[in-house]
Amino acid sequence: MPGSRSLADDDCLAPSSGVTSPDTERLMDSDGAAAHAAQAREEQEWVARCRQGEIEAFSFLVVRYERMMRSVIRRMLARDEDVDDMAQASFVTAFERLAQYSGQSRFSTWLCQIAVNKCRDLYRSRRDAGGWRDGGDAPDPVDDALGPEQRYEARQKDAVLQAALGRLKPQDRELIVMKYIAGHDYETVARILGCSPQAAKVRSVRARTTLRAILSGMGVEP
Amino acid sequence: MMKQQRSDEARDDRLEAWLAGAPPAPPSPGFETRVMQAVRDHARHRERGGPAWLRRLLGFLLAPRTLQFNVGGLALAGVAAMAAGLAITAWRAEAPVPPLAMGDETLTVRFVLVQPEAREVRLAADFTGWQPDVPLRRDGQGHWVAEVRLRPGSYEYSFVVDGGRWVEDPRGTLFREDGFGRRNSVLTVTDHPSAGDKGNG
């Protein structure tokens, strides 16, 4: 998918970085690698400051990962009104457990792990695979910055995608979201979902096939 | 065969590209501010409890307990103790309330929070060492309820929703500034029914 952007790229790098690879950890060029390394150092510094009691340093991490977290959580949940609460709860949990963050994975990976666990807790509490339902009077999901035509297309696509994701099993949905929408590589997906990279690959084939069939049934052929 | 495989791969590529272009979540004004407020609240309440080992110790020592006395059993035990020349007391811990001494008068206070969307609600108060140790149970109508036995006195409390959000009691009538820009709800337990309990209960 040359030229496409992913949430993993978008939110793990400054917006102006211009990195367009779909799988940053695999296809990163030297500039991208340097940018990621600098970013990782910066995040380690923020984490260290938080651990030393400087709470406000956590806001840098919130600002950097707010959009990524809200976007992936939104695709994993049915109700838009749950998104901010789940994202907030995920950040608070991350802050609470900051001492447990080893730094071996990227901070975004660790945040995604927390978000997935929060969403799973919500599925379990509602016992209905995320309480999926039609959007109803949910707020318009499309960015105001887009032009009218782009807005229309984006809104259509958003509605189709949410409806299709809602028909997937939660474990397939998590995989589609982390692999194809957030744009993580298999190793990272495996780490986030708590399975082996091989299992993530096998499950992704199954999830993709199921999603394609669902979309086809809705008359959508990407 | 090869042609079919190429066709499938092309379809997979198109699907992946379509998914990668999914619109991100729209901005949520004030999100960072709300998160940081929740983080500060969390840190503040954590600090109040001191170091983790101290909080665990205090949590254990201050864990509210109910002592129930079986009068018949106590009488029999008294007889047995006299006979043996030993003092025997029996006690049994059950629901969460502070330890009682004989003669203490306690009242059952019901804490209620209406929060249909919450997944978990707990009570944190000065009588729990500000640890959210008292879980509220959901009654099926979005009401979260816990009953705690308290001695007459004044108590400060707050609800903790979904593990991180500290919520003052919307039904409360008294509040006290906590010195960090937020308020705790205040409950006054009195043994005079005419005076009534001020606060949630």
Instruction: Answer yes or no: do B38 and A92 touch at CB < 8 A.
Output: yes
Q: What is the pLDDT of residues A159-187, one digit of tens each?
A: 899 999 989 999 999 999 999 999 999 99
Q: What is the pLDDT of residues A55-111, one digit of tens each?
A: 899 999 999 999 999 999 999 987 888 899 999 999 999 999 998 898 888 999 999
- Ramachandran class of A129: left when φ > 0, alpha when ψ lies in -120 to 50, beta otherwise: left
Identify the sign of the CA torsion A195, A196, A197, A199.
Answer: negative
Closest-CA distance of chain A to residue B177, Å = 21
Which residue in chain B is spatially nearest to A212 when comparing CA positions?
Answer: B15
CA distance linking residue A106 with residue A90, whole number of Å:
16
CA distance linking residue B102 with residue B27, whole number of Å:
59
Average pLDDT, chain B: 73
Which residue in chain A is spatially nearest to B28 when comparing CA positions?
Answer: A84
ipTM value, please give it. Answer: 0.80
**pLDDT of residue B201 exceeding 60:** no
- Ramachandran class of A127: left when φ > 0, alpha when ψ lies in -120 to 50, beta otherwise: left
CA distance linking residue A160 with residue B18, whole number of Å:
11
Question: Could you give the percent of chain A with pLDDT greater than 90?
Answer: 51
Q: Which of A184, A175, A178 is nearest to A205 (CA)?
A: A175
| Average of per-residue pLDDT across A190-212 | 94
Strands B134-135 and B121-125: antiparallel
Half-sphere exposure of B100 (CA within 13 A, CB side): 23
pLDDT at B53: 61
Q: Of residues B191 and A40, which shows the higher confidence score? A: A40
Q: What is the pLDDT of residues B15-56, one digit of tens each?
A: 999 999 888 888 888 899 999 999 988 888 777 655 556 666
Paired strand residues for B177: B183
pLDDT at B88: 36
Cα distances from A90 to residues A13, A114, A125, B192, in angstroms, run: 20, 6, 16, 45
Contact A168, A176 (CB under 8 A): yes
Q: Which of A170, A146, A169, A168 is nearest to A156 (CA)?
A: A146
pLDDT at B200: 56
| Average of per-residue pLDDT across A135-155 | 63
Closest-CA distance of chain A to residue B119, Å = 7
| Average of per-residue pLDDT across B173-184 | 73
**pLDDT of residue B58 exceeding 80:** no
pTM as predicted: 0.58
Quote the crossing angle between the two packed helices B2-20 and A197-217, to the nearest 10°: 90
Closest-CA distance of chain A to residue B46, Å = 9
Cα distances from A55 to residues A92, A109, B35, B92, in angstroms, run: 12, 21, 12, 43
pLDDT at A137: 43
| Average of per-residue pLDDT across B176-201 | 65
**pLDDT of residue B142 exceeding 90:** no
Chain B residues within an 8 Å CB radius of A10: 24
